[in-house]
Amino acid sequence: MLALTPQHRLLLAVAAVDFRRGIDGLAAICTQRLKEQPDSGTVFVFTNKRRTAVKILVYDGQGFWLCMKRFSQGKLQWWPTGEANVHAISAQELNVLLHQGIPSKANMLPAWKPLVMPFYSNQAAC
């Protein structure tokens, strides 16, 4: 079972990849193009040229997971662009992206918030 948490490091590969590639081909892209170790536990997310599908590659300590989602209708509304090869994203943002949403337009709460401890008196209750 693969569960994503706020502690996971998630990277989107900016450039589209050939979806005929399997685990070994995507791991090679991680090493060569993204300059990342595919067996580091980082979650790598790829898309095809038409943005109609997403592949997720992650190593869980025992082996690689390769998950694919092909959209039955439409395509991704957003994917990062620019000179960088990778784009960091949170687990919440990936969830929005996988539902064909735009992460920056989703009104999400921060993944972490500081705890505020209530004031306690040093005196023991009688």
Q: What is the mean pLDDT of residues 10-15?
A: 97
State yes or no: pLDDT of 33 exceeds 80: yes
Predicted pLDDT of residue 25 = 98
- Statement: residue 30 has pLDDT above 60: yes
- 39-77: per-residue pLDDT in tens? 999 999 999 999 999 999 999 999 999 999 999 999 999
pLDDT, residue 1, reads 56
* Side-chain half-sphere exposure of 24, counting CA atoms within 13 A: 0
pLDDT band (50, 70, 90) for residue 86: very high
- Listed residue (62, 92, 96) closest to 79, CA to CA: 96
- Counts for the chain of helices (H) and strands (E), in that order: 2, 5
Whole-model pTM? 0.83
- pLDDT at 125 > cutoff 60: no
Please state, in angstroms and rounded to a whole number, the distance separating the CA atoms of residues 118 and 74.
49
- Asked whether the beta carbons of 39 and 60 are under 8 A apart, the reply is no
